Amino acid sequence: MKITIIGTGYVGLVTGTCFAEVGHKVICVDCDAAKIKLLQEGGVPIYEPGLEELIQKNAASGRLAFRTSTREGVEQSDVIFIAVPTPPLPDGSVDLSFMEGVARDIADAMTSYKIVVDKSTVPVKTGEKVSETIRRYCKSRVEVDVVSNPEFLREGFAVEDFLKPDRVVIGVRSQRPVTALREIYAPFNCPIIVTDIHSAELIKHAANSFLALKISYINAISVLCEASGANVQEVANGIGMDHRIGRAFLDASLGFGGSCFPKDLSAFIKISEQLGYDFGLLKEVQKINAQQMDRFFKKIVDTLWVLKEKTVGVLGLAFKQNTDDIRMSPAMELCHRLRKEGAILRVHDPQAMEKAKAVLPNVTYVSDMNSVADGCDALVVATEWPQFKKLDLDRVRKVMTHPIMFDGRNMFDLEEMERLGFIYKSIGRQCQS
């Protein structure tokens, strides 16, 4: 199939690259000329494992091209995917101006029937609006089918998730575009669910909100674990082995972040409100998440007392492992709070330090994770990078002024930390001895 993807963010770039990888001919369009130039020269604007190799391979084979012109993309393709940002407005609702703008650009360039597929996360009924907009602005009066095809990839595992999806959801207003969409996704060998367009749009917000709810649920349980002496990891394993519950997304933490869950929760609450329903459950999910950060920060303050001029090492800046993305990162939030209290910070992240430098000045960026602890009064683990598990704990303890560690990701073994002589405070667990 000939496919155009408009928008080369995490979703658009991964989608375009993976479609090319399975044999489709893809044009990725973005209005950011500098980004397109970088991509044309073989560079990648984001860190995502495996992506760079796939882009280079598919660009070299001629199946993947990068352009700034929507017109060119629309003229040369049968199916056009929209993967533009849908950022939050101050009241929590979704800014759909990029969607509207792209719909108008597509309409302007269309001279024959096209299938327009929305991949961005949007409020239910957006597809209807996109369809109306294209029909209104298309001078050549050709037919269009608008489809909703929400994306479920996770940053840090984006290529893997895209190539091996649990399911593909296709939401349509008529059966006409279904054959083409099935053909596009046939190489992925996964279940394809065809629904009405409203359901497909709702599935995305419902899925993300449910995952966020799972995290807040286990974080609430972690509070009970701390109060009772239980261990949240044991509880998560115990409930997660029930296949109706599942173990995934039951890792207690200092809270979830990123560009999706916080934004999508606010949007879903707002959408529900507009549909006449007060989604109080999701408000509680948000509240628990905010409290989790407060509780973690309080643990640090309670232990160190005055933070002013104390040296604190922070491991992790990205909002999660395997990414350089610091948007709405709990780790960054923590750093800002520590700085505000006057702490001197030594920070490290395997990928996110460059991005962090622009928004977190006056801290020491340390390139080696083991050296972060040098001279520190305390060390904080804020992101679940797997390599942090390989920290040379013996060395870390020796170089710290005080061997105090706050682990917001439950990375280390409680007994081992005690044996090594650390004062070790994690989430929802404590040493029994």
By CB under 6 A, residue 365 contacts ligand UGA: no
Query: Of the candidates 125, 129, 154, 397, which one interacts with ligand UGA according to CB under 6 A?
Result: 154
Q: How far apart are CA 82 and CA 99, in angstroms?
A: 8
Which is nearer to ligand UGA, 249 or 365 (by Cβ)? 249
The pair phi, psi for residue 227, each rounded to 5°, is: -75, -25
Smallest distance, ligand UGA to C-beta of residue 324, A: 12
Report the residue from 105, 155, 201, 377 that binds ligand UGA according to the rule CB under 6 A. 155
Binders of ligand UGA in range 257-296 (CB under 6 A): 257-258, 260-261
Active site residue 138: no
State the nearest-atom distance from the C-beta of 155 to ligand UGA, in Å.
Answer: 4
The full length of the chain comes to 433
Per-residue buried b or exposed e for 222-260, using 16+ beta carbons within 10 Å of the residue's own CB? bbebbeeebbbbebbeebbeeeeeeeebbbbbbbbbbbb
Residue span 373-402 as binding mask against ligand UGA, x where in contact by CB under 6 A, dash where not: -----------x------------------
Restricting to residues 198-227, name those near ligand UGA by CB under 6 A: 208, 211, 215
Among 118, 201, 251, 324, binds ligand UGA (CB under 6 A): 251
Catalytic-role residue among 225, 260, 335, 376: 260
CA dist., res. 270 & res. 209, Å (int):
13
Of 47, 256, 268, 296, which lies in the binding site for ligand UGA, with binding defined by CB under 6 A?
256
| Segment contacting ligand UGA by CB under 6 A, of 76-84, 104-112, 177-185, 247-255 | 247-255
Q: 3 pairs with which residues across the strands?
A: 26, 79
Residue 103's closest CA among 124, 118, 121?
Answer: 118
Q: CB 263 → ligand UGA: shortest distance, Å?
A: 9
Amino acid of residue 57: K
- Could you give the CA distance from residue 348 to residue 367 in angstroms, rounded to a whole number? 6
**Residue 333 binding ligand UGA, by CB under 6 A:** no
Q: Which is nearer to ligand UGA, 134 or 236 (CB)?
A: 236
Q: Which member of 47, 66, 296, 319 binds ligand UGA (CB under 6 A)?
A: 319
Give the interface segment with ligand UGA, choosing from 39-47, 92-100, 175-183, 252-260 (CB under 6 A).
252-260
Query: What six digits make up the tokens of 35?
Result: 């980004």
Nearest-angstrom CA–CA distance, 65 and 40: 8
Residue in 152, 188, 279, 365 binding ligand UGA, rule: CB under 6 A: 152
State the virtual CA torsion across 172, 174, 176, 178 in degrees, nearest 10: 30
* CB distance 169 to 195 below 8 Å: yes
Please report, for residues 319, 348, 349, 411, the alpha-carbon distance to residue 385 in angstroms, rounded to integers and kept in the order given: 10, 11, 8, 9
Which DSSP letter does residue 88 get?
A: B
Rounded to the nearest whole angstrom, what is the least distance from the CB of residue 201 to ligand UGA in the complex? 13
Residue 151 makes contact with ligand UGA by CB under 6 A: yes
- Name the nearest CA neighbour of 77 among 26, 118, 119: 26
DSSP state of 139: T
Minimum CB separation of residue 394 from ligand UGA in Å reads 28
Q: Which is nearer to ligand UGA, 154 or 173 (CB)?
A: 154
Amino acid at 164: K
Q: Which residues face 6 on adjacent strands? A: 29, 82
Show which residues are catalytic. Answer: 260
Binding site for ligand UGA (CB under 6 A): 121, 151-155, 208, 211, 215, 249-251, 253, 256-258, 260-261, 319-320, 384
